[in-house]
Copies of this chain bind each other. A is one copy, B any other.
Amino acid sequence: MIKIVSKNLIKEDKVEEFKKLMKELVEKSAAEEGNIHYSLNVSRDNPRMFTFVEFWRDQEAIDKHNATEHFRRLVPMMRDMREDSDLTIMTEVEF
């Protein structure tokens, strides 16, 4: 399993538009065959800080996701609405 955490600080005047657009991205991404978990979350101490938490079966599932119509249309729109971002791509530690 591959996990992605994508943290995005959204511009103050774009927060409502961002939430409206991301509803479709969340619903369609969560419905993808290789997705295990997909959620959009808002920080408790900052109503402009939005974090996608994503669990994917494998790299093939992520590659397919990145090629979907909803990803290619909505993610660039999201990028235009943010001031700052931090992306973490990771695998679970094997003990």
Contacts and interface: CB of A to CB of B under 8 A. Distances in A.
Interface of A: 2-3, 5, 7, 19, 22-23, 26, 39-45, 49-51, 53, 86, 88-93, 95
A79 B49 CA distance: 24
B93 A42 contact: yes
A23 to B, nearest CB: 4
Copies of this chain present: 2
A3 B53 contact: yes
A92 B3 contact: no
B5 A53 contact: yes
Nearest to A89: B44
Given A3-B41, A7-B88, A22 B93 contact: yes
